[in-house]
């Protein structure tokens, strides 16, 4: 009997593990019942009753028409009643973009072979030349203090250079005079600029992200494209895109800005047009824009365009010199001096031709915006955050080696090392995510969920990195001035957190909310069958999706349990994977099965209420995100296979697994149905929670990479602008190299002082004393002197007159932009 029980459980577990079709289950149950009735010696009546029951259930399960009539059509009827109606804007947001690796992670069995087979994204020779030429030159031209403090804008020659070299037309194809760059190149340019000047990076980033050019490329009429794209590519037009209204920020679909279709006079002729009224704020490049991309809700009360009154959100291109357009005033976003400000208009008449895509696209603005955002969100903010993290790794590592306290470079003090190691490892994972996500866009994907993950986690990690870096810099990071290279970045970090979907909303509403519908293999099919289909078509589609869905839940639950019991020993590893990281694939596969199971049970238990339970859905989103970040990290390592980088991979993946585990733990602790929570915990963590935070020893290895000049540090910060001149960061680079070269000399001096051979009296030149006593050579003394001079420059902070020079500057040329803005 024990053998029979064990064999039965094993057989059922195997069927569930491999997701066997219902026929196999029927055969297995049939065989078991036959055997039981044989050995149990049932009478004829019992046998016949059992057989009839079995055949009845088997027929219902295996004959689709019968199954639909008895089971799925009833479920469909209930599902239709409880499934909340979706607004058109919600539907368009859900439908936007494509799914890619997120679908694998949602499936519970990611196909690692498929991921590793994706070619590592590469820049073309032309793109690399642009990075090494104009981008390098632009970085060298930018002096952040001058831009941010003295001019409060980019200097005119920098603006001109940006326009002349085509920076504003990176995404515009060559046929229209643009650079026609890949997403990877676009990202590499923004990243490099972000390591030098936030104002330059943002000014370049915005025309290349969601705005007139991108909307025209996807939806513009030929006439609109032929006229505007060449002008945008050459910087003859400065674009901005105005969606946000004081009343509608995150809930952008509710903008109260409106247009009314009417007849009017345009250039002396009567034409069909719209009278548009709007009030926008926070619009980047708005104050200097010549072309305003404007989103508003269009109404047609006189039915001049058709039979609908409320046509919906509409996007138009409005030249800013149009009479009635109020533009030009500035906001001051956390002292970031990129151009940003409000604009408005009241009853401004404009022809219908100004609608992007022409009158056929009246009312389709939200679909257009969501479609563009699905891919665009993958580039700008994730990329600028990676740029920030690379600069922080390089500069903070250097500073921690140059700055000493307690007679030790601070980077060697464990507390500082902990923060520095974190910065370095985050940077590796962030860059891996940037490259994988931009690579997906270049493959033709518009990865709506993955771009939201990249946006949220890259900007949040940048915030963690800058907080750590500020702590390591101490007062040096706090006192602003030309000698402070991180204070402005720290100040401006919340900007990236807020724009293109503020982070709280992105985490708690979008990542899992959209993922659960889009990336889940069956949920969207079930919803479409229920809401968009009728009759036999709905019945067949719903039946197929639902039965597959049930099999999917059983399979993932079983896999989660078996992986949990075996420490993921049987989970898949891709062919040709590097043995040193093979176990991580198994762990992420285990996590994927657990997540898929948990997600389904959560949806079942909470239904539509899950959308409002943002704490739960935020944590489910965290698990999905951690799997994506870990996948990107593993892929990056496989594409490069450089063993020196292993500590960064190990720290990051372990951290991701641990964070995912914490998120699952919190979901289970707060799960509304306690019995289900207990069942889920036994299934997902049958032997307790398996993942631990990264080890201190690993953290030390990561910090060492940031503290040591060489290939690993250069690789970690690859693509950033490495200053070569004599500005603050240029001096820092030199001081860093000099500090390391002088370490043996410092050691000799330390020993000499300790043994009393020289006396380190206040103000004494111990190098000179050591040289005079023959403890170091003259050459060593000169090397040490140079290092000391550089070190003193590095630790220097700026000071200003009592009134910060305001009275002296009032009449001076530099204050004009400030006065104008005020
Ligand atoms: C510097 C800067 C540049 C910008 N550039 C542009 C531009 O060029 N064009 C443009 O149109 N707009 C632009 N914006 C606007 C930007 O997109 C909005 O600021 C953003 O959408 C958030 O809106 P809000 O600031 O009104 O915040 P709110 O909408 O008031 O949100 C406040 C907080 O509530 C959270 N929240 C809101 N709803 C939910 C929810 N359902 N669940 C959970 N949390 C929620 C948000 O995450 C946020 O944390 C810019 C903003 C800034 C600051």
Helix axes 2-17, 22-39, angle to 10 degrees: 170
Distance 126 CA to ligand 1 centre (A): 37
Q: Which atom of ligand 1 is nearest to the CA of 506?
A: 47
Q: Which atom of ligand 1 is nearest to the CA of 246?
A: 26
Does ligand 1 come within 6 angstroms of the Cβ of 209? no
| pLDDT tier for residue 822 given thresholds of 50, 70 and 90 | very low
Q: Which atom of ligand 1 is nearest to the CA of 338?
A: 1
Does ligand 1 come within 6 angstroms of the Cβ of 72? no
Does ligand 1 come within 6 angstroms of the Cβ of 249? yes
> pLDDT value at position 92?
87
Average pLDDT over all residues of the chain: 94
> pLDDT value at position 695?
97
DSSP assignment of 785-800 equals HHHHHHHHHHH-----
Distance 293 CA to ligand 1 centre (A): 18
The answer to whether 210 and 500 have CB atoms below 8 angstroms apart is: yes
**Residues facing residue 273 across a β-bridge:** 262, 351
Does ligand 1 come within 6 angstroms of the Cβ of 498? yes
Does ligand 1 come within 6 angstroms of the Cβ of 282? yes
- What pLDDT digit, counting tens, does each position of 744-789 carry? 999 999 999 999 999 988 888 999 999 999 999 999 999 999 999 9
Does ligand 1 come within 6 angstroms of the Cβ of 169? no
Tokens of 84: 């909340």
Does ligand 1 come within 6 angstroms of the Cβ of 381? no
Q: Which atom of ligand 1 is nearest to the CA of 248?
A: 26
CA dihedral sign of residues 491, 494, 496, 499: negative
| pLDDT tier for residue 503 given thresholds of 50, 70 and 90 | very high
Distance 289 CA to ligand 1 centre (A): 21
Does ligand 1 come within 6 angstroms of the Cβ of 369? no
Does ligand 1 come within 6 angstroms of the Cβ of 279? no
Q: Which atom of ligand 1 is nearest to the CA of 244?
A: 11
Buried b (16+ CB within 10 A) or exposed e, 239-254: bbbbbbbeebbeebbe
**Between 523 and 724, whose confidence is greater?**
523
Q: Which atom of ligand 1 is nearest to the CA of 240?
A: 8
Q: How far is CA 757 from CA 337, 749, 751, 774, 800, in A?
A: 55, 9, 9, 11, 42
Please say if 500 is a catalytic residue: yes
Residue 353 in this model has a pLDDT that exceeds 60: yes
Mutate which of 288, 502, 621 for ligand 1? The one with the most ligand atoms within 8 Å of its CB, which is: 502
- What pLDDT digit, counting tens, does each position of 305-333 carry? 999 999 999 999 999 999 999 999 999 99
Q: Widest CA span of the chain, in angstroms?
A: 112
Q: ∠ at Cα 474 (427, 462), nearest 5°?
A: 25
Residue 669 in this model has a pLDDT that exceeds 60: yes
Mean pLDDT, range 531-557, rounded to an integer:
95
Whole-prediction pTM value?
Answer: 0.94
Q: ∠ at Cα 140 (137, 144), nearest 5°?
A: 135
Nearest protein Cα to ligand 1, atom 45: 505
CA dihedral sign of residues 500, 503, 505, 506: positive
Mutate which of 239, 245, 250 for ligand 1? The one with the most ligand atoms within 8 Å of its CB, which is: 250
Q: Give the other-Cβ count within 10 Å of 336's Cβ.
A: 18
Does ligand 1 come within 6 angstroms of the Cβ of 337? no
Nearest protein Cα to ligand 1, atom 27: 249
Does ligand 1 come within 6 angstroms of the Cβ of 161? no
Q: How far is CA 551 from the centre of its chain?
A: 32
- What pLDDT digit, counting tens, does each position of 635-656 carry? 999 999 999 999 999 999 999 9
> pLDDT value at position 809?
64
Nearest protein Cα to ligand 1, atom 48: 502
Tokens of 472: 């390591």
Residue 41 in this model has a pLDDT that exceeds 90: no
Tokens of 534: 């009728």
Mutate which of 249, 334, 514 for ligand 1? The one with the most ligand atoms within 8 Å of its CB, which is: 249
Q: Which of 500, 541, 638, 788 is catalytic?
A: 500
State phi, psi for 149 to the nearest 5 degrees.
Answer: -105, -45
Distance 260 CA to ligand 1 centre (A): 27
Q: What count of Cα atoms within 13 Å lies in the side-chain half-sphere of residue 38?
A: 6
**Euclidean distance between CA atoms 168 and 213, whole angstroms:** 9
- What pLDDT digit, counting tens, does each position of 260-303 carry? 999 999 999 999 999 999 999 999 999 999 999 999 999 999 99
Nearest protein Cα to ligand 1, atom 16: 499
Nearest protein Cα to ligand 1, atom 30: 249
Mutate which of 498, 511, 612 for ligand 1? The one with the most ligand atoms within 8 Å of its CB, which is: 498
CA dihedral sign of residues 618, 624, 630, 631: negative
Q: Which atom of ligand 1 is nearest to the CA of 333?
A: 1
Distance 455 CA to ligand 1 centre (A): 14
Mean pLDDT, range 618-625, rounded to an integer:
98
> pLDDT value at position 813?
55
């Amino acid at each position: 009997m024990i053998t029979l029980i064990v064999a039965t459980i094993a057989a059922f577990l195997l069927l569930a593990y491999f997701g066997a079709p219902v026929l196999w289950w029927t055969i297995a149950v049939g065989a078991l019942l036959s055997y039981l009735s044989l050995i149990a010696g049932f009478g004829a009546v019992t046998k016949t009753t059992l057989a009839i029951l079995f055949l009845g259930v088997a027929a219902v399960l295996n004959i689709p028409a019968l199954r639909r009539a008895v089971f799925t059509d009833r479920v469909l009827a209930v599902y239709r009643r409880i499934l909340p109606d979706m607004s058109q804007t919600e539907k368009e947001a859900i439908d936007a973009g494509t799914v890619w690796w997120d679908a694998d992670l949602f499936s519970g069995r990611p196909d690692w072979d498929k991921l590793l087979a994706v070619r590592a994204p590469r820049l073309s020779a032309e793109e690399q030349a642009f990075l090494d030429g104009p981008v390098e030159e632009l970085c060298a031209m930018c002096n952040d203090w001058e831009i941010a403090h003295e001019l409060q804008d980019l200097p005119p020659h920098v603006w001109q250079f940006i326009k002349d070299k085509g920076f504003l037309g990176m995404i515009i194809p060559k046929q229209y005079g643009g650079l026609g760059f890949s997403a990877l190149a676009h990202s590499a340019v923004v990243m490099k600029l972000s390591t030098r000047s936030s104002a330059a990076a943002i000014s370049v980033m915005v025309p290349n992200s969601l705005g007139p050019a991108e909307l025209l490329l996807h939806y513009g009429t030929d006439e609109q494209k032929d006229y505007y794209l060449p002008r945008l590519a050459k910087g003859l037009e400065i674009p901005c895109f105005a969606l946000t209204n004081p009343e509608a920020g995150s809930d952008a679909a509710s903008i109260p800005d409106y247009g009314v279709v009417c007849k009017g006079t345009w250039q002396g002729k009567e034409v069909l047009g719209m009278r548009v009224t709007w009030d926008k704020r926070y619009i980047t490049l708005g104050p200097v824009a010549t072309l305003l991309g404007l989103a508003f809700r269009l109404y047609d009360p006189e039915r001049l365009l058709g039979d609908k009154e409320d046509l919906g959100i509409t996007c138009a291109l409005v030249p800013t010199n149009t009479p009635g357009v109020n533009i030009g005033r500035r906001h001051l976003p956390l002292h970031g001096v990129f151009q940003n400000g409000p604009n408005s208009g009241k009853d401004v008449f404009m022809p219908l031709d100004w609608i992007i895509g022409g009158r056929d696209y009246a009312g389709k603005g939200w679909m257009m915006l969501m479609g563009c955002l699905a891919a665009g969100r993958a580039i700008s903010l994730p990329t600028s955050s990676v740029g920030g993290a690379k600069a922080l790794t390089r500069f903070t590592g250097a500073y921690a080696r140059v700055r000493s306290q307690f007679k030790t470079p601070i980077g060697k003090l464990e507390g500082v090392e902990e923060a520095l190691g974190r910065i370095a490892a985050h940077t590796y994972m962030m860059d891996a995510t940037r490259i994988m996500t931009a690579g997906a866009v270049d493959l033709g994907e518009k990865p709506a969920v993955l771009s939201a993950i990249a946006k949220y986690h890259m900007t949040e990690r940048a915030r963690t990195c800058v907080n750590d870096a500020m702590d390591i810099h101490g007062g040096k990071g706090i006192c602003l001035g030309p000698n402070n290279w991180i204070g402005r970045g720290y100040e401006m970090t919340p900007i990236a957190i807020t724009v293109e979907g503020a982070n709280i909303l992105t985490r708690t509403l979008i990542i899992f909310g959209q993922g659960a519908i889009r990336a889940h293999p069956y949920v969207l099919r079930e919803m479409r069958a229920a809401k968009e289909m009728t009759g036999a078509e709905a019945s067949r589609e719903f039946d197929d999706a639902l039965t597959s869905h049930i099999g999917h839940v059983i399979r993932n639950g079983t896999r989660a349990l078996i992986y949990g019991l075996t420490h993921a020993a049987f989970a898949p590893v891709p062919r040709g994977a590097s043995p040193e990281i093979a176990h991580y694939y198994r762990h992420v596969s285990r996590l994927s099965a657990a997540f898929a199971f948990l997600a389904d049970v959560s949806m079942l238990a909470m239904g539509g209420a899950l959308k409002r339970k943002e704490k739960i859905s935020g944590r489910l989103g965290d698990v999905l995100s951690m799997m994506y970040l870990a996948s990107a990290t593993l892929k990056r390592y496989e594409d490069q296979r450089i063993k020196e980088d292993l500590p960064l991979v190990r720290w990051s993946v372990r951290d991701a697994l641990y964070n995912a585990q914490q998120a699952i733990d919190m979901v289970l602790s707060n799960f509304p149905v306690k019995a289900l929570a207990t069942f889920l915990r036994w299934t997902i963590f049958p032997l307790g929670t398996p993942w631990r935070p990264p080890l201190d020893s690993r953290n030390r290895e990561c910090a060492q990479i940031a503290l040591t000049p060489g290939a690993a540090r250069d690789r970690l910060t690859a693509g950033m602008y490495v200053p070569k001149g004599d500005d603050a960061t240029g001096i820092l680079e030199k001081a860093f190299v000099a500090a390391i070269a002088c370490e043996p000399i410092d050691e000799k001096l330390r020993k000499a002082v300790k043994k009393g051979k020289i006396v380190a009296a206040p103000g004494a030149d111990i190098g000179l004393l050591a040289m005079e006593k023959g403890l170091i050579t003259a050459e060593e003394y000169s090397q040490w002197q140079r290092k000391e001079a550089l070190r003193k420059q590095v630790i220097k902070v700026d000071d200003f007159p009592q009134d910060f020079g305001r009275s002296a500057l009032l009449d001076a040329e530099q204050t004009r932009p400030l006065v104008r803005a005020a």
